[in-house]
Structure 1
Amino acid sequence: MGDTWEIGNMALKRMDNVGIVVEDLGAAINFFLELGLKLEGRATIEGEWAGRVTGLGDQHVEIAMMRTPDGHSRLELSRFIRPAVVADHRNAPVNALGYLRVMFTVDDIDETLERLRKQGAQLVGDVVDYNGIYRLCYIRGPEGLLIGLAQELS
């Protein structure tokens, strides 16, 4: 049946995007552009329909949709104007409950780290070799967001 998996009468087609809430949308866009994502577009989302989807009622949000070079994955960066942000999980440790991080595969982890450090990224631990298959690391990106980087070694 192509690229879908069927379970009973339901079929999953794809993961559309991962949403990340930020305070500084411009800085987040610049960081992910430097990482290698493409900006698909920016928009302002508001109105009764939007609040019905999220359960937040009257909301006003600026979003930017970022796409990976292969076209298969997207990040939806959001800056809430209304209602105000109610929680902050950006500095949670790796073993905190909930969403952990977004992982990106890069060509050269050292070169990527060099470029992203100029955007304020900080290495969390070390760059490690995983059985000669990957080099891996976690970084804190814009606003402390946890991001994983992987370099395939094969």
Structure 2
Amino acid sequence: MPIKRMDNILIVVDDLEATKAFFIELGLKLEGEATVEGPGVGALIGLTDVKATLVTLRTPDGQGVELDKFHTPNPIRFGPVNAPVNTLGIRRIMFEVEEIDGMVTHMLAHGAELIGEMNYENAYRLAYIRGPEGIIVALAEQLR
């Protein structure tokens, strides 16, 4: 059976409000926010005594980003907050944008840190920025 689509990606965060604001500034739309808890949730994710706040955001084309703040059990930080891009695991999310310079300037004004920029084979302009929780976002603008 083939995969039909990707529904969302989960990012566990400590500062839910700052991270939510960061993704809204990028252009994602808030779809919903809810608190989940109880044995059914715990059985699904392999934890006990779970209580978490979930925020669902969507890109303009409908892709999902879910932010989770665990109230119980306590979240576990694995490695440094600002881990480098070559750290094992999922390291970044990439979005295609228009007017990358304006987007980078906008995000820097809202607290993002610029990691680097480049042109890739005269096909794309790329920029890596770091937001709250050390989240790395790659921005890509297709060159015409």
TM-score range, shorter chain: over 0.9
Query: Which residue of the partner structure matches residue 138 of structure 1?
Result: 128
Q: Percent identity?
A: 49
Q: 1:27-38 to 2 correspondence within 5 Å?
A: 27-38=18-29
Give yes or no for the alignment of 1:112 onto 2:103.
yes
Q: Which residue of 2 aligns with 1:82?
A: 72
What residue number does 1:6 align with?
A: none
* Residue in structure 2 matched with residue 148 of structure 1 by the alignment: 138
Deviations 1:90-125 (A, max 9, x none): 422111111111011110111011111122100112
Greater shift in the superposed pair: 87-96 or 26-35:
87-96
Q: Counterparts of 1:45-56 in structure 2 under 5 Å?
A: 45-56=36-47
Paired with 1:91 and 1:50, the residues of 2 have a C-alpha distance of 30
- Residue 41 (structure 1) shift: 0.4
- Name the CA distance, whole Å, in 2 between partners of 1:144 and 1:119: 14
Measure the CA separation in 1 of the matches of 2:42 and 2:29.
28
Structure 1 segments of 4+ aligned residues over 4 angstroms from their partners:
none
**CA offset at residue 88 of structure 1?**
3.5
Q: Check if 1:26 corresponds to 2:17.
A: yes
Instruction: Report how many aligned residue pairs link the two structures.
Output: 143
Distance, in Å, in 1 between the alignment partners of 2:106 and 2:49 is: 39
**Which residue number corresponds to residue 90 of structure 2?**
99
Q: Which has the higher contact order (CA 8 A, sep 6+)?
A: 2
For the residues of structure 1 that align with 2:49 and 2:140, how far apart are their CA atoms? 40
The answer for the alignment partner of 2:119 in structure 1 is 129
| Paired residue type of 1:27 | A
Q: Runs of 5+ in structure 2 lacking a partner? A: none
Alignment match, 2:50: 59
Q: Which amino acid is 1:47 matched to? A: G
Computed over aligned residues only, the root mean square deviation of the Cα atoms, in angstroms, reads 1.1
